[in-house]
Structure 1
Amino acid sequence: MASSSSSTFLFRNSCTYTFTYILILTFSAPAKHALGYCYTSIISFGDSLADTGNLLRLLENSSAGQLPNFSLPPYGKTYFHRPTGRFSDGRLVIDFIAQHLGLPLVSPYFGGQNASSVKFQGGVNFAVGGATALEDEFFEERGIHIPYKNVSLGMQLGWFKEMLPSLCHTPLDCKKLLESSLILMGEIGGNDYNNAFFVRRSLEEMQSFVPSVVDVIAWAINELIELGAMTLMVPGNLPIGCLPMYLTEYTSPNKEDYDPETGCLIWLNEFAEYHNEMLRIELSRIQQQHPHLTIIYADYYNAAMLLYRSPSSHGFSSATTLSACCGAGGPYNFNSSAKCGSLRSRACNDPSSYISWDGIHFTEAAYKLISKGLLEGPYTIPHIKHSCITLPVTSFSF
């Protein structure tokens, strides 16, 4: 598969210099308003990489009966010491960002949408595990199954619009709220590809999805700008060729399919980079149209690749770099029929020595280092800064 993929990524090589020029031109003079700003809340959208409990609450309120694997131990064992609906052993990137800014952990929308606005003083999280950027119809037309009841990015944005009057009671209050909020746009889009890759859709077909995914993300950003958002952080896709889930599903007898430095599948990582490049070009275009705003690209891909390229120097075991901490065996300790939390799965003794938590998502230790790369640099463009928060002694620090 790797050899056949080379021609599909010619675009990436041909546009590198053009894109770099656009990026420098657009982001070299970010708006002073947003950088160094006092963020009073975080408003989040996305999928399981940012979900702090929404999918769990949705499933608890449904008639499905049996609770999902991520609602059971050992999820949450490292920090919360119980499952919280987060897809990890502890905190996520959104949690580290909130604590770094001196804000409370961002509450999930479900389970609290009927509560007083006090619950959401530090912001509100609409991210739902399994969510896609595109609507269900896109996948249904192509015969692609969505595991849970899908919550698209558009639906999440609709919830925010419905909730906004309860967060701010006058147009001026809403303007102030959005001006002082950091908007986290995902990660979103990964599941649009995951669901199709796991029914073995071709690389060429998957590449054709990318413009539609990026267009929806851009549409949501523009909707939020219309509402008054001033600072938006938009993550790219992760290096999916390094995930135990993909390494298990797409095991290849061809050595040339694997990166000799990391052991990751080259063609899958190239696909993630293609998505990211298309996203960054679109973000540059939006930034040019709105020079008074700050559109921050969060480079999840390279922040994570740093851990795969030099695991030992970041505290991870080089022997288990590509294996899941929690799983049911196999070369990468991932089994799609016995996921983490099921009776057949077992968790490692020290999650902090692993990059992957359950074969799909990361450990708290990995999320912490990815967050550090975003908050301290160099993996945000432009770099996110804040100037008015005095962090309490008990707050999280790197």
Structure 2
Amino acid sequence: MCRSRQHIPMRSICEQRWISIVAFVVIASSSAPLLAACPYTSIFSFGDSFADTGNLYLSSHPPTHHCFFPPYGETYFHRVTGRCSDGRLIIDFIAESLGLPLVKPYFGIKKFGGWSVEEGANFAVIGATALDFSFFEERGISIPTNYSLTMQLNWFKELLPALCNSSTDCHEVVGNSLFLMGEIGGNDFNYPFFLQRSVAEVKTYVPYVIRAITSAVNELIGLGARTLIVPGNLPLGCSINYLTIYETMDKNQYDQYGCLKWLNEFAEYYNQKLQSELDRLRGLHSHANIIYADYYNATLPLYHNTTMFGFTNLKTCCGMGGPYNYNAAADCGDPGAIACDDPSKHIGWDSVHFTEAAYRIIAEGLIKGPYCLPQFNTFCLMNIRYGYFNS
């Protein structure tokens, strides 16, 4: 949802914010022609496991992460791809809806070649953080990877010579690309919360995380980026991992849907701070389309109206034991963990990640509105007019 501190209705804010972005969206009342050319020639993505399409998988020797073993990938790809789901992710649905190829992982491009600019590149890595490894090391927090947003941005800059031959050419290629900035930053909070660090401590990390993300946005705009989607955090209090770690008999800790209130309140706190900073950036870069993607409110309805979306309960599809079909000793992909017969009936695939069915609904909310984008150019979204999200 597109919110402001003045609590102006969402629709009016979205219309005011995007009325000038004729090349990007078509407001329902707009007279802009429907046959305008799609402005995006490719997608470049940064982030963590919610966007990784195979980078950690291709860079691990041998692959050891639980996402790298069956039944991951069973629904759509029918094989393991390095995605932490049974099928496609949000980035896959965005690419398909734009009529673009699925975005290749950077390490796949390096390893196999055969890459063209039109395919874009995905730099997201499972477990990645917005902040560098040293930030957590100084605070006594061990993290399993050093694939920070800074490192991912450096990979993009290393790829630039393959994109273009001159500075002018680069600005044109980069300017015609869609940049998906995450989701990134969630792990910066997950790692300390998994160790049960206090909310007061983790809140002190928020300005650093936002600064890392907005610095990357600034740098990409300097390189010619014109359209950047910056996702907020998800409803952490509904995550099976957290519901297991922080399980309590105190009913007041939970909302009426079974989610932990204090963790969702933290996610909302972070998202509000991020939106405020993005508002500031828009004032500095009036020529750029800096888009806030409200992952929080795009996801929350799945928990609030579970049966309406065809889901059964909060239990994960793939796991073993416990009230949510999860325990840390047998995560999905580990020996002993099994997947449900029909993942489309579940929101959660494993303890952290969603099923393809859930990602499809979240992506639809982002692409078709209202979280917080107005309707995309209908010509550009060639697959949606044929009932793409209903297939």
Per the TM superposition, whether the score is higher than 0.5 is yes
Aligned pairs, number: 377
1:340 has 2:332 as partner = yes
Deviations 1:210-240 (CA, angstroms, capped at 9, x unpaired)? 1110111000000000000000011110101
CA 1:115–1:327: 2 relative to 1, 3 Å: closer
1:238 maps to 2:234: yes
2:124 is aligned, of 124, 127, 141, to 127
1:114: how far off? 5.5
Change (3 A) 1:255 1:397: closer
How far is 1:314 from its partner? 0.8
Q: How does 1:176-325 map to 2 (within 5 A)?
A: 176-260=172-256, 262-317=257-312, 321-325=313-317
Alpha-carbon distance in structure 1 between the residues aligned to 2:113 and 2:4: 53
Corresponding residue for 2:349?
357
Aligned to 2:35: none
Seq. identity, %: 52
* 1:81 partnered with 2:72: no
Structure 2: gaps (5+ residues) = 27-37
- Indicate if the aligned counterparts of 2:57 and 2:63 stay in contact, CA closer than 8 A: no
The residue that corresponds to 1:98 in the other structure is: 95
CA distance in structure 2 between the partners assigned to 1:14 and 1:378 by the alignment = 15
Q: How has the CA–CA distance of structure 1 residues 300 and 388 changed in structure 2, closer, same or farther, with 3 Å as cutoff?
A: closer
Structure 1 counterpart of 2:17, from 17, 27, 30: 27
Q: What RMSD over aligned residues (CA atoms) do the two structures have, in Å?
A: 2.5
Residue 264 of structure 1 aligns to which amino acid in structure 2?
A: C
Q: CA deviation at 1:58?
A: 1.3
- The letter of the residue matching 1:304 is T
Per the alignment, do residues 393 and 311 of structure 1 end up closer, same or farther by CA in structure 2, a change over 3 Å counting?
closer
User: What is the CA–CA distance in structure 1 between the aligned matches of 2:370 and 2:42, rounded to whole Å?
Assistant: 23
Task: Indicate the residue corresponding to 1:6 in structure 2.
Answer: none
Kindly indicate whether the alpha-carbon contact (under 8 Å) linking 1:23 and 1:284 is maintained by their aligned counterparts in 2. Answer: no
Q: Does 1:143 align with 2:140?
A: yes
Cα deviation digits, residues 342-391 of structure 1 (max 9, x gap)? 11211111000000000100000000000000111111245544644644
TM value normalised by structure 1: 0.89
Cα distance between partner residues in 1 of 2:127 and 2:66: 14
1:55 and 1:128 in contact (8 A); partners too: yes
Mapping of residues 357-376 of structure 1, within 5 Å: 357-376=349-368
Rounded Cα–Cα distance in structure 1 between residues aligned with 2:73 and 2:368: 26
Query: Which structure 1 residue ranges, 5 or more long, are not aligned?
Result: 1-12
1:104-143: CA deviations, max 9, x gaps? 1000000222655634522100000000000111100000
Query: What letter is aligned with 1:100?
Result: S
| AA in 2 matched with 1:211 | P
Normalised TM-score (structure 2): 0.90
- In 1, Cα distance between equivalents of 2:278 and 2:194: 29
